[in-house]
Structure 1
Amino acid sequence: MSISLLLDMAASSNPDRRAVVCGQVRWTVAELKALAQGGSGVLAGSGARSLVYVGTGGHLLPLLLFAAAEASVPFTPLNYRLGADALGALIARLDTPLLVCDDEFHEIVAREVSGSGVAVVRSVEFLEQAAVAEPVSVAVDPEQVAVVLFTSGTTSTPKAVELTHNNLVSYITRTIEFDSAATQDAALVCVPPYHIAGIGAAMSHLYAGRKVVYLRAFDAAEWIAVVTRESVTTATVVPTMLARIVAELQRTGATLPSLQTLAYGGSKVALPLLRSALHLLPEVGFVNAYGLTETSSTVAVLGPDEHRAAMTSDDPAVARRLGSVGTPVPGIELQIRDASGTVLPAGATGELYVRGPQVSGRYTGIGSVLDAHGWFATKDVAELDVDGFLYIGGRSDDTIIRGGENIAPAEIEDVLVEHPQVREVAVIGIDDPQWGQIIVAVVVPDGDREPDPEELRGFVRASLRGSRTPDRVVFRTTLPATPTGKILRRDLVAEYSSQPVPGGTAGR
């Protein structure tokens, strides 16, 4: 089954339903399908063997996604925030691409690929051509690659993740009920087009029968205005967006009466921020969605009922679930393994492995990295409790080894962020000749005044073993992060490794 069949089903069910809203663009399902079919003709005529997009997304994302599927070529949206050299390096790794670019990126991309023979077309030109081109009909093997996404490269060179039609369709059909949305349902999408959440949203809301409203550049005030103007019922944000939305709601006193569901993910949300959001929007159902590019988006979900139960429960085990990412979605299996590959019991911490038909685990130029039984190693440190709730403790690459003891940064971050004078924190390991590594807490203060480093160290020591106490505490106004809120730890490590960290190594 091709992902294009998701569009066919939606068009057969209700062709005149509003499907996509982006600025002045307001397409019905039938209009989206017609343009996607025309786009397939544009692709076929170009001779391209892949479709690449550099732009901010919006209505272009579903159009290009389904046009590529109709033409049976892979679709790759690239990170438009990258510099010319980085974009050029990624484009060079793709097979005979047709590049579609928004106006503001056309010049830089065209200049970068000049002389390579790669065809470049402006987004508006592609739309014009798709409106008049003859569609093509190409048979698609379900195991053929539908989407190629580059990982963020926060810890290494970006990998090109290959997601097949079967991977993506399995995710949608197992987690979404077809045409299940109410007539008035509308989803607000403001995640980047090159992120798996953007790809998933383009398919899932269409399949559910929900209007998709795109906000191409996030601004908290505009986000609130769009929710009100379009009567948005569901939205997805990353943690940095949630923090700004909460601050804007607190500043203005605005309300969101139409909003029924607010999903968050992409990286970990600090519990103080989550509690503030839950108190501020008590009628909204919060959803924590955890997934990876290699798993075709979400593999575990903490739903609204679990959020409410955790917020109000006197049972420590239930209350703790507010910090979990929930339980597996249908069709997904989870295991926690130790370094030797042994499956660990409930409550033990190790590396998370995932298995299911939506899991790809395949990279261009590398092939599949699934083990002999189809399990994918996520590189995430995790725990499954006795009731099957999953807790993510950060990346295994981020583990600090101090004096021979393995320390997960998240363990310390979860404590420090609860301090009233801490807004954000990232804990990193810096090489040290005596200890191997020392613990450095990089703190963004909540307010104009920096808290006393010794007070913060004592705050950690009161909750964790002395070996978890930060050796040093430094302050910044912001933390470097990807657009989806993932902290760029390697940038922090490079910065603080290359200069003396104030304060010296403190005692335990």
Structure 2
Amino acid sequence: MNISMLLEMAADGFGNRTVVGRTEDGLTPVRLRALAAGGAELVRAADADAIVYLAVNGPAFPAALFAAAHAGVPLVPVNYRLGAQQLDALLSNHPRAVSIADPEQHEALRRAGVRSVRSPDEWLTAASDSADEATDPIESDAAAVLIYTSGTTSAPKGVVLSRHNLVSYVLGTVEFAGAQEDEAALMSVPPYHIAAVSNVLTNLYSGRRVLTLEQFTPERWLELVRAQRITNAMVVPTMLARIMDTDGLDRSVPSLRALAYGGAKMPVRVIETALREWPHVDFVNAYGLTETSSTISVLGPQDHRDALESEDPQVRARIGSAGLPVPGIELEVRDEEDAVLGAGESGQIWVRGEQVSGQYAGQGATVDERGFFHTRDQGRIDAAGYLYIEGRADDTIIRGAENIAPAEIEDVLLRQPDVLDAVVVGVPDEEWGQRIEAVVVTRHGVQLDAEALRTTVRQTLRGSKTPDRITYWPELPRTATGKLVRRDIVAALRTENPSPTR
């Protein structure tokens, strides 16, 4: 199955409906199909084996995605925020690619030996000039997309997603032409994130117009929602927190019907505030990975409302869960010996399904003999089937031979009304192996007593899970998609060389 099939269906089913950009000058499926054919001609003329996309999000991104599919080569969206050394290393893997890049990135591509470099506008113009709608897409077993992971804990790896993976995800989660003609989605994630790829495909397949906001601010996001009458949006938790926590904002969003969030842990305080601020909005928590073609579990709108209103502690707790598996997905939680654990037991999350790749460039597939992929996330599944994420396995703190999940401590800190953000990490310690350190961001103008916070953690959990030290920072280092860069936090804390307090 080729993702070009999704574009063909859209062009035949609602070809003159605007699906990318503003209503007045956006792209229709018919126009997108022509750009895909023209872009494929550019790829073939250059004898290229990939399209590298090194630019901000915009109309050229979906045009490049379908041009790559049409030409039978992968699209490689690359993080334009990388430093020169890391960027050079990634680009050197693709010397035969053609590239779409913002002008400030052209020199890096030339250093890597990439021959054909165009800006997004130049690509769209060249694809228009080369467009030939009679050209059929190439059926190929080549990857559809190669996405480099964020590398927040290690060097980036190239995740290979096949056409079959992506089409399986779309067909399993979206109804064809299910969106009304007035629906518009706002995306606020960069093109090198799996959510950008999946949302191009799902919104096109459903018939929903999609816009992008590359440089997020709460004010700009709210203004665009109102101006373009956005009905559906996706944000990362830090964005929703800034919308809810910034004083003096006009938060009215009369057109907004649904808001999805994911990519990092959502503080319960933030989502509860948003539910009360926008009671007419359907909230969805989507959990997934690049290796799984995006979402594998969803906490739906009614789950959110039930959790907010229920007196049952188990139901209330679900607001902090990742919900139930999407169709076609099987989940298991296993212990370190690979045994499947029962309901409520914490372990490592494994996933199986047609949308799951689990394949890395140069490494091949990493699924086990039963086809399950190890997510390397810690979690548990309750008796009703709801999935709870407890952090990355690599984030586990080992203090005095006891395994401690940072997420458990972070949850306690984030429940405090004046704590806007918090992270807990393990820092090397000669006596304990690792000591527990927390970094907290407080509401502007508020000073919190560190010893009082430590006492709160001790009373809620226990002494061995109490941070040895709490430090206050103005903000935490996060990627553009909201993930904490824990290695930078640990490095900064190590340079301070504290004397642990107990």
In 1, distance between residues paired with 2:119 and 2:313? 55
* CA-to-aligned-CA distance 1:89-134 (integer Å, 9 cap, x gap): 101123621111123433x324433xx3533222222111101115
Query: Structure 1 residues 272, 37: closer, same or farther in 2, change over 3 A?
Result: same
Structure 1 residues 123 and 46: alpha-carbon distance in aligned structure 2, compared to 1, 3 A threshold: same
Write out aligned runs for 1:407-446 (5 A): 407-446=404-443
Whole-Å Cα distance in 2 between the matches of residues 134 and 312 of structure 1?
Answer: 55
State the partner residue of 1:289: 286
Tell whether the 8 Å contact from 2:99 to 2:114 is kept in structure 1 after alignment.
no
For residue 213 of structure 1, what is the amino acid of its counterpart? L
Give the TM-score taking structure 1 as reference length. Answer: 0.96
Given the superposition, is the C-alpha separation of residues 322 and 117 from structure 1 closer, same or farther in structure 2, using an over 3 Å criterion?
closer
In 2: Cα distance, 1:451 partner to 1:247 partner = 17
Report the counterpart of residue 129 of structure 1 in structure 2. 126
Q: Which amino acid aligns with 1:121?
A: R
- Between the aligned partners of 2:418 and 2:19, the Cα distance in structure 1 is 45
* Partner Cα distance (1:257, 1:486) in 2: 30
User: What is the match of residue 20 of structure 1?
Assistant: 20
Q: Which amino acid aligns with 1:240?
A: T
Hey, what does 1:320 align to over in structure 2? 317
Structure 2 residue 264 is matched with structure 1 residue 260? no
1:94 aligned residue: 94
Q: Does 1:375 align with 2:372?
A: yes
Please state if 1:463 is matched with 2:460: yes
- Decide whether the 8 Å contact of 2:94 with 2:114 is kept in 1: no
Q: Is the 8 A contact 2:184 2:209 kept in 1?
A: yes
- Does the C-alpha gap of structure 1 residues 217 and 447 become closer, same or farther in structure 2, counting only changes over 3 Å? closer
**Residue matched to 2:394:** 397
- How far apart in 1 are the matches of 2:42 and 2:143? 20
Pairing partner for 2:501 from 471, 496, 506: 506
Q: CA–CA distance in 2 between the matches of 1:445 and 1:229?
A: 32
Q: Separation in 2 of the partners of 1:398 and 1:199? A: 27
Q: Is the 8 A contact 1:220 1:244 kept in 2?
A: yes
Residues 1:454 and 2:451 are matched in the alignment: yes
Give the aligned partner of residue 146 of structure 2: 148
Instruction: Judge which range, 338-347 or 93-102, deviates more.
Output: 93-102
Code of the residue aligned with 1:347 in structure 2: it is G
Contact 2:39 2:130 in 1 (8 A): yes
Picking from 204, 207, 232, the partner of 1:206 is: 204
Q: Which deviates more, 151-160 or 124-133?
A: 124-133
Distance (whole Å) between structure 1 residues aligned to residue 241 and residue 111 of structure 2: 36
- The code of the aligned residue for 1:139 comes to I
| 389-398 or 238-247, which deviates more | 238-247
- How far apart are residue 277 of structure 1 and its match? 0.9
Check conservation: 1:442, 1:475, Cα contact below 8 A.
yes
Give the equivalent residue in structure 1 for 2:186: 188
Greater CA deviation, 447-456 or 117-126?
A: 117-126
Residues 1:227 and 1:421: Cα distance change in structure 2 (over 3 Å): closer
In 1, the alpha carbon distance for the partners of 2:214 and 2:262 equals: 18
- TM-score, normalized by length of structure 2? 0.97
Unaligned runs of 5+ in 2: none
Aligned equivalents of 1:499 and 1:131: distance in 2? 56
Secondary structure at the counterpart of residue 100 of structure 1: strand
3-state DSSP of counterpart to 2:195: helix
Give 1:237's aligned residue: 235
Alpha carbons of structure 1 residues 285 and 52: separation in structure 2 relative to 1, 3 Å: same
1:171 corresponds to: 169
Q: Deviations over 1:320-359 (max 9, x none)?
A: 0000010000000000000010000000000000000000
Q: Partners of 2:189 and 2:24 in 1: how far apart?
A: 19
Give the match for residue 385 of structure 2.
388
| 1:467-490 per-position Cα deviation (integer Å, ceiling 9, x unaligned) | 111111111000001001111111
1:442, distance to aligned residue in structure 2 (A): 0.8
Which consecutive residues of structure 1, in runs of 5 or more, have no partner in the other structure?
A: none
Instruction: Give the structure 1 partner of residue 48 of structure 2.
Output: 48
> Partner of 1:109 in structure 2?
108
The superposition leaves residues 61-102 of structure 1 with CA deviations (integer Å, 9 ceiling, x where unpaired) of 111000000000000111111123222110112362111112
Does structure 1 retain, via aligned residues, the 8 Å contact 2:69–2:138?
Answer: no
CA deviation vs aligned residue, 1:219-274 (integer Å, no higher than 9, x gap): 221211111111111000011111222235x5223310110000000100111111
Instruction: After TM superposition, give the deviation of residue 282 of structure 1 in Å.
Output: 0.8
CA distance in 2, matches of 1:110, 1:158: 18
Contact between 2:34 and 2:131, CA under 8 Å: does it hold in 1?
A: no
Contact 2:60/2:123, CA 8 A, preserved across alignment: no
Distance 1:347 1:180 in 2: 36
- The separation in 2 between residues aligned to 1:256 and 1:134, in whole angstroms, is 39
Runs (4+) of structure 1 moved beyond 4 Å? Answer: 22-25
Structure 2 contact 288–295 (Cα < 8 Å) conserved: yes
Q: Is the 8 A contact 1:22 1:58 kept in 2?
A: no
Q: Distance in 1 between matches of 2:395 and 2:334?
A: 17
- Cα distance in 2 between the residues matched to 1:158 and 1:58: 24
Deviation at 1:308, TM superposition (A): 0.2
- Contact kept, 8 Å, 1:19 with 1:27, in 2: the verdict is yes
CA RMSD of aligned residues (A): 1.4
The answer to whether the Cα contact below 8 Å between 2:52 and 2:75 also exists between their aligned partners in 1 is yes
* Alpha-carbon distance between aligned partners in 1 of 2:152 and 2:249, rounded to the nearest angstrom: 35
Q: Indicate how the Cα distance of structure 1 residues 19 and 457 shifts in structure 2: closer, same or farther if over 3 A, else same.
A: same
Please name the residue that 1:68 is paired with.
68
Q: Deviations over 1:386-408 (max 9, x none)?
A: 00000000000000001110000
Letter in 1 for 2:371: G
1:158 aligns with 2:161: no
1:70 is matched by which residue type in structure 2?
Answer: H
Tell me the equivalent position of 2:331: 334
Q: Over residues 419-470 of structure 1, what are the superposed CA-to-partner deviations in whole Å (9 max), with x where a residue is unaligned?
A: 2332111000011111111100111122324311110000101110211111
SS at match of 1:145: coil
Determine the structure 2 residue equivalent to 1:272. Answer: 269
Match for 1:461: what amino acid?
R
* In 2: Cα distance, 1:436 partner to 1:94 partner: 42
Find out whether 1:39 has 2:34 as its counterpart: no
Amino acid at match of 1:456: L
Q: Which residue of 1 aligns with 2:244?
A: 246
Question: Quick check: 2:160–2:357 contact (8 Å CA) kept in 1?
Answer: yes
CA contact (8 A) 2:91 2:109 kept: no
Letter in structure 1 aligned against 2:407: A
Identify which range, 352-361 or 22-31, moves more after superposition.
22-31
- Partner of 1:21, secondary structure, is coil
Contact 1:416 1:425 in 2 (8 A): yes
Whether the aligned pair in 2 keeps the contact of 1:22 and 1:59 (CA below 8 Å) is: no
Q: 2:114 and 2:344 mapped to 1: Cα distance?
A: 55
1:79 paired with 2:74, answer no
> Could you tell which deviates more after superposition, 329-338 or 275-284?
275-284
Give me the identity figure in percent. Answer: 47
Distance 2:413 2:219 in 1: 29
- In the alignment, the residues of structure 2 paired with residue 55 and residue 185 of structure 1 have an alpha-carbon distance, to the nearest angstrom, of 26
